[in-house]
Amino acid sequence: MEANLPAFEAARLRYLAVGGIGLTGVWQDIHTIGQYLGRERRADDLVHTMQRAMQAVTTSVNGRRPRVHWEWSAHPVVAARRSWITELLEMAGAENAYADLDVESVRVTLDEVGIRQPDLIVACWCGVRALPTIERVLKRPGWERLSAFQQWRVAVLSEAYFGRPGPRLVQGLEQLATLLTTLTF
């Protein structure tokens, strides 16, 4: 997104660039935007409301810890340690299969996915006009060797609830927790 900033500057448009890391970064960015708009109280209330709602989901999760391959694109680019997805997965009772990689997201190879053998594949593709079907994801050549594929533990979720740092993350967490409770690992 920072590639857009020179055009804003050339047009002399005012903007506020934010981009915190993880959920802490989301909370900080909401506060920054609230301060910029003179709505500090509303920003604070929003953060507290989101945190309480997320905590309510967290307390309802059982002790299972499936490893999740969370991809932002079909190539695949996956969420890693610095992504708020790692925290959402933990809150929902799972773990990010790429939490050991100290970046926000990274492109991985099929071989790397195969070594990690995730319990669940989540396709949450950014910028697609229509969500892919589970069948489309399952047709990837070479992926049939993954146990998650063999057991049809593949889910497709809308990026609108996971890829944007705002209130919809709560709904995304709720969807994720529901998904994890319906699967057998």
3-state secondary structure of 121: strand
Which carries the bigger pLDDT value, residue 184 or residue 158? 158
Domains and CATH numbers, the chain: 2-58 (no CATH), 67-182 (3.40.50.1980)
Question: Tokens in use for 147?
Answer: 């146990």
Residue 4: the pLDDT is: 85
Which carries the bigger pLDDT value, residue 80 or residue 65? 80
Query: What percent of the chain stands above pLDDT 70?
Result: 96
For 127: left if phi > 0, alpha if psi spans -120 to 50, otherwise beta; the answer is: left
Residue 183: the pLDDT is: 84
The yes-or-no verdict on residue 62 having pLDDT over 80 is no
> pLDDT, tens digit, for every residue of 88-127?
999 999 999 999 999 999 999 999 999 999 999 999 999 8
User: CA geometry: angle at 91 spanning 94 and 104, to 5°?
Assistant: 75
Residue 106: the pLDDT is: 97
3-state secondary structure of 174: helix
Question: Tokens in use for 87?
Answer: 């925290």
Place of tokens 């890693």: 80
Residue 36: the pLDDT is: 95
The yes-or-no verdict on residue 63 having pLDDT over 90 is no
Residue 44: the pLDDT is: 97
The band of 60, judged by pLDDT with boundaries at 50, 70 and 90, is: low
Alpha-carbon distance 119 to 121, whole Å? 7
User: Facing residues of 70 across strands?
Assistant: 122
Taking the complete model, does pTM exceed 0.75, yes or no?
A: yes
CB 160 within 8 A of CB 127: no
